[in-house]
């Protein structure tokens, strides 16, 4: 399998700094999420997207002390600046905003957003552990192998983020719609190699079979956590059932220019893809 490549210089420079720092404090597993991860996937197909100065990394930490040690080292030795009001946002010397989002067995990521008693200001990191276990892909870069969330995993994170804070996360619904629109073009091979049964439905539109495949690919991370699985089912069912005046669906339509009914069908296909194994 050909590895994806990091083309954005700003991200390359940040990884050069972070990689040895992570190793120094004993952090061995992390992966890229958010817009920067999406851009790497888009670059594979030459798709142009809005640029971002934000880099979001999910990092596996042993405990809060390790997390604090990491931030202190970046601030003291590498001229990163902390952002007031956030436990995990730093700004690099070059002006890039870096969100270091911790997860792990010693990190409380339930209601209250506490890390060993230190508030994470209600940032919800639900699904980071599950994605780490089954929904990341390797990327080629100078220091070796770097991991990013898959596009289905990015959709999962955005579904949850919007559900947490719909008033602040309007771009999530738009990003989900756009990823589904281009997913067939980016990952064409997996449709022919692993999901060829759906190709007979190609006349319904690439976005429809893409939504079904995305649902299928979310089954593995969701199967690792029954609470998370049910939460995602509830999110999708809520959007499907509450069509009238649904802001999430309206936001999807501003990006993919499809009707409310068409967007409902897209969400329904994701839901069906997740639930397929349950009917077996």
Query: For 11-70, how does the pLDDT look when each residue is reduced to its tens digit (9 = 90+)?
Result: 888 888 999 999 999 999 999 999 999 999 998 888 877 667 789 999 999 888 899 999
187 and 139 in a common domain:
no
pTM of the model: 0.90
Distance from CA of residue 200 to its chain's centroid? 29
Query: What CATH number corresponds to the domain at position 73?
Result: 3.30.460
- Using the 3D structure, point to which of 107, 134, 149 is the last residue of a domain: 149
13 and 98 in a common domain:
yes
| pLDDT score, position 108 | 55
Percentage of the chain exceeding pLDDT 90: 64
Q: Average pLDDT in the 124-137 region?
A: 85
Residue 188 vs residue 94, higher pLDDT: 188
Query: For 6-28, how does the pLDDT look when each residue is reduced to its tens digit (9 = 90+)?
Result: 767 788 888 889 999 999 999 99
167 and 135 in a common domain:
no
Specify whether the CB–CB gap between 61 and 67 falls below 8 A: yes
Q: Average pLDDT in the 102-117 region?
A: 58
| pLDDT score, position 111 | 44
52 and 167 in a common domain:
no
Domain range holding 196? 156-279
Phi and psi (nearest 5°) for 6? -85, 120
141 and 177 in a common domain:
no
Q: How many domains does the chain have?
A: 2
Q: Is the pLDDT of residue 166 over 70?
A: yes
In angstroms, the CA 181 to CA 205 distance is: 9
195 and 91 in a common domain:
no
234 and 172 in a common domain:
yes
160 and 105 in a common domain:
no
Burial grade of 47 (CB within 10 A; 0-12, 13-18, 19 or more): middle
- Using the 3D structure, point to which of 120, 149, 178 is the last residue of a domain: 149
Token duo for residue 92: 């690099």
């Amino acid at each position: 399998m050909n590895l994806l490549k990091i083309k954005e210089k700003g991200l390359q420079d940040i990884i050069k700094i972070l990689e040895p720092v992570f190793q120094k404090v004993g952090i061995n597993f992390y992966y890229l999420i958010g817009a920067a991860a999406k851009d790497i996937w888009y670059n594979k197909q030459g798709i142009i997207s809005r640029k971002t100065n934000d880099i979001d990394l999910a990092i596996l930490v042993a405990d809060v002390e390790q997390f604090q040690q990491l931030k202190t080292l970046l601030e003291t030795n590498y001229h990163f600046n902390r952002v007031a009001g956030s436990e995990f946002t730093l700004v690099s010397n070059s002006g890039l905003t870096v969100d270091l989002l911790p997860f792990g067995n010693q990190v409380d990521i339930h209601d209250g957003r506490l890390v060993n008693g230190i508030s994470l200001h209600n940032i919800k990191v639900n699904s980071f552990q599950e994605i780490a276990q089954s929904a990341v892909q390797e990327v080629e870069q100078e220091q070796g192998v770097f991991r990013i969330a898959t596009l289905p995993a990015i959709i999962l994170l955005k579904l949850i983020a919007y559900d947490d804070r719909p008033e602040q996360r309007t771009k999530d619904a738009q990003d989900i719609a756009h990823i589904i629109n281009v997913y067939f073009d980016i990952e064409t091979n997996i449709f022919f190699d692993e999901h060829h049964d759906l190709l007979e439905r190609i006349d319904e539109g690439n976005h429809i079979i893409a939504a079904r495949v995305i649902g299928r690919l979310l089954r593995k991370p969701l199967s690792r956590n029954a609470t998370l699985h049910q939460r995602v089912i509830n999110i999708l069912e809520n959007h499907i059932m509450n069509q009238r005046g649904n802001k999430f669906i309206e936001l999807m339509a501003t990006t993919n220019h499809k009707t409310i009914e068409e967007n409902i069908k897209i969400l329904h296909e994701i839901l069906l893809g997740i639930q397929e194994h349950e009917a077996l």
